[in-house]
Each structure stands twice: as structure tokens, then as C-alpha cells.
Amino acid sequence: MTNEEIIEKTRKFLEEKFAAEGSGHDYWHMHRVWMLARRIAQYEQDVNMFNLELAALLHDIADWKFHNGDEDAGARAARKWLASIHVSEATITHVEDIVRNVSYKGAGIETNMASIEGKIVQDADRLDAMGAIGIARTFAYGGWKDRPMYDPAITPEQHNSFEAYKNNNGTTINHFYEKLLLLKDRMLTKTGTKMAEHRHKVLEQFLDEFYAEWDGKA
């Protein structure tokens, strides 16, 4: 198969596998991250587009949140799929590393990426957690987890370990302070940083309106 055929086969595989997913981590999340990664890559140097596109598509193939906190589930699943369609070991290893390290792990945890492809995919994934789409996904996931939408008595936490972040049982609104509002300053590419500025403002505007309505002032 050509590189283009491998990418399309992977896209179709994910579309079928995640078509009915309802937590905000569905096929269309993967598709948007793929599109965002391709857009960001236009402004970066020396990007291996084949590795980038596969990693963007496969970045959430087995998210730890849906696999009992298993941090390596995604990397294993990505390797299994790519090996099944006879992708080279070099590409598999590269994609596997990106998938393993892409996720946000808490306010106090750095998630450094060694490659430009990894930095782009991580930025694209974080952009999809911001703005209007990010808000929609946050409430979709909160509902899926049976989390309270908001409780003024439950304050946000700044998690200093991945274990603390994984075991968090806060409200959906708290997630804005525990993750979404922190992403703007953790982008790794110039294009991602610029795009994050607008999406960050959307988050802030939403919260202003939410609190005004919560207090009966709007």
C-alpha cells in the first residue's frame, strides 16, 4: 500500500470503531485533531507527514480514561493496528511514542515531546479541548462520567501527579480550571499558540456567562 492508502485505511478503521462513542472521544475528535495537525504542520519545518498523520489519527485509539487508567493501552493498540497493515518498525515506534505521551496528565506534570510531529499532534489534541468544541466535549464527558455539572462547594484542584489527576472526581466546571484554561500556556508550536489564544477567550467568555446565569444575573 502507498502512504496515502495506509492513512485512508487507518481513518476508515477508526471511523468504524468509534462511530457510536458518546463521551467526546469519538471518531470526529480524531478527525479534527488530524485536520488541525495537518494545518499546524504547514508552518513547521522538517515534518514527516506520514508519521504525523498516523499519530494524529491514532492518538486516542485506546485512551487510558477508558482502559482502567492503563497509560500504555493506546501505544499497544496503535502498534497492533500498524503492524497488522505492515507499516515499518521505524514508523510504528515513532507513532507509538507520540500516542504514549500525548495526553494531559495534570497541572503539575510536564508532557514533553521529543519530535516535531509529537509537538504538533499534542497541540492539535489540546486545541480540540478548547473553544466551543472543547466546551461541548467537556460536558459530554462529564455526563458520561456522571459528574455534577457544578457545585460551588467543590473547589478545583491543581493535580501534582498523574495518579491524582486520574482519580479526580470533581465537577465538570472544575475541569476548566484543572485543564482547559491551562492549555494556552502549554502549547509547543507557534501556530498552535496563536490558535489557542482565540479558543482560550471562548472558554473565558463561556464561564463569565455561566456564572452570571447561575447567579440569576443574566
Answer with the residue of higher pLDDT: 181 or 160.
181
Fold of 3-214: Hypothetical protein af1432 (1.10.3210)
Q: What is the pLDDT of residue 198?
A: 98
On average, the pLDDT of the chain sits at 93
d(CA 200, CA 180): 8
Ordered DSSP codes for 140-178: HHHHHTT--S--TTS-----SSHHHHHT----HHHHHHH
Nearest residue to 120 (alpha-carbon basis) of 13, 3, 38: 38
Nearest residue to 104 (alpha-carbon basis) of 129, 82, 76: 129
Q: What is the pLDDT of residue 63?
A: 79
- Torsion over CA of 18, 23, 25 and 31, rounded to 10 degrees? 70
Nearest residue to 164 (alpha-carbon basis) of 110, 103, 105, 112: 105
Q: What is the pLDDT of residue 20?
A: 82
Cβ density class 39-55: b for 16+ within 10 Å, e for less: ebbeebeebbebbbbbb
Cβ density class 72-89: b for 16+ within 10 Å, e for less: ebbbbbbbebbeeeebee
Task: Check pLDDT > 90 for residue 69.
Answer: no
Q: What is the pLDDT of residue 110?
A: 81
**Residues across the chain:** 218
Q: What is the pLDDT of residues 129-167, one digit of tens each?
A: 999 999 999 999 999 889 999 999 999 988 887 776 767
pTM above 0.85, yes or no: yes
Q: Quickly tell me which residue has 499519530 as its cell.
A: 55
Query: Are the beta carbons of 126 and 101 closer than 8 angstroms?
Result: no
